[in-house]
């Protein structure tokens, strides 16, 4: 369970790629939590139940249908399509899933409002970080970056660079050019946007889902058979 400098009543969790008792096989090994990747539905349902039991979650997470949008939902909403989720209720588990994209955990200073966002490069362009932060009552927040793909492994084309700099010229600082290609530091891009929103208390940002194969799923590394980790946050009861 992660703590960092979040309030003591806030719990954060990133699930491992491997967990004793995990049921996924055939390239999804072994603790995949996503239903949309082609894995056995029975295996995923087994893993989701195991998640609650093994980590003593206060409730089943609210699972989202993620589309790289800028939609931030309240956990009480009946809607499930979105890429960020927040709650003020104790014991409600907010969740996003990733396999290279950046998970962003957030809590206010008092630990009375928490949430998590799924911020891939497309979601960042679409404004998911701004929508996520604006869903909080104030900007006096603590942020933690979960594991994502590193700049070394996130190669993109010139059109992606142009779209980022069209959004905000300062985002050019998150790119390194190598020939006709660019490498995007997704951690840095998120940090620039958060700082512009007045959010300065940020931890994390030093891991790589591609290189840490024993710890994390990675779509860039494993392709279509990549599972998904879950990133969970809740207010303890």
The phi and psi torsions of 234 (rounded to 5 degrees) equal -155, 165
Q: What is 10-148+206-235's CATH number? A: 3.60.140.10
Pairing label, strands 94-98, 84-87: unpaired
- Among 94, 166, 86, smallest CA distance to 125 is for 166
* Cβ–Cβ < 8 Å for 26, 227: no
Pairing of strands 175-178, 181-184: antiparallel
Looking up tokens 């279509």, which residue turns up?
Answer: 224
Instruction: Identify the pLDDT of residue 132.
Output: 98
Strand order in the sheet with 10-14: 10-14, 229-235, 94-98
| Average pLDDT of the residues of the chain | 96
Q: What is the residue-wise DSSP string for 43-87?
A: HHHHHHHHHHHHTT-SS--B--B--S---EEETT-S--B-SEEEE
Q: Domain segments of the chain: what residues?
A: 10-148+206-235
Give per-residue pLDDT as tens, 208-225.
Answer: 999 999 999 999 999 988
The pLDDT, as a whole number, for residue 2 is: 52
Q: What are 178's strand-pairing partners?
A: 181
To the nearest whole percent, how much of the chain has pLDDT over 90? 93
| Angstrom distance (rounded) from CA 23 to CA 204 | 30
CA distance 228 to 100: 9
Which tens digits make up the pLDDT trace of 20-44? Answer: 999 999 888 899 999 999 999 999 9
d(CA 96, CA 100): 12
- State pTM to two decimals: 0.96
Can you tell me the mean pLDDT for 134-158? 96
22 contacts 54 by C-beta, under 8 angstroms: no
């Amino acid at each position: 369970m992660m703590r960092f400098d979040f309030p003591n009543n806030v719990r954060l969790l990133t699930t491992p790629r491997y967990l004793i008792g995990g049921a996924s096989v055939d390239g999804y090994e072994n603790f995949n939590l996503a239903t949309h990747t082609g894995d056995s539905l029975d295996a995923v349902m087994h893993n989701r139940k195991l998640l609650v039991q093994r980590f003593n979650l206060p409730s089943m997470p609210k699972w989202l249908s993620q589309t790289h949008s800028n939609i931030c939902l309240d956990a009480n909403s009946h809607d499930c399509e979105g890429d960020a989720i927040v709650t003020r209720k104790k014991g409600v588990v907010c969740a996003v899933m990733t396999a290279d994209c950046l998970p962003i955990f957030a809590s206010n200073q008092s630990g009375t409002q928490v949430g998590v966002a799924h911020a891939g490069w497309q979601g960042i362009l679409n404004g998911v970080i701004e929508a996520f932060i604006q869903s909080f009552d104030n900007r006096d927040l603590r942020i933690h970056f979960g594991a994502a793909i590193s700049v070394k492994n996130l190669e993109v084309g010139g059109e992606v660079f142009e779209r980022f700099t069209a959004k905000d010229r300062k985002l050019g600082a998150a790119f390194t050019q190598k020939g006709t290609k660019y490498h995007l530091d997704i951690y840095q891009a998120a940090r620039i946007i958060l700082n512009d929103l007045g959010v300065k208390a940020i931890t994390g940002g030093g891991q790589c889902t591609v290189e840490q194969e024993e710890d994390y799923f990675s779509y860039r590394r494993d392709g279509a058979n990549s599972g998904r980790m879950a990133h969970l946050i809740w207010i303890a009861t």
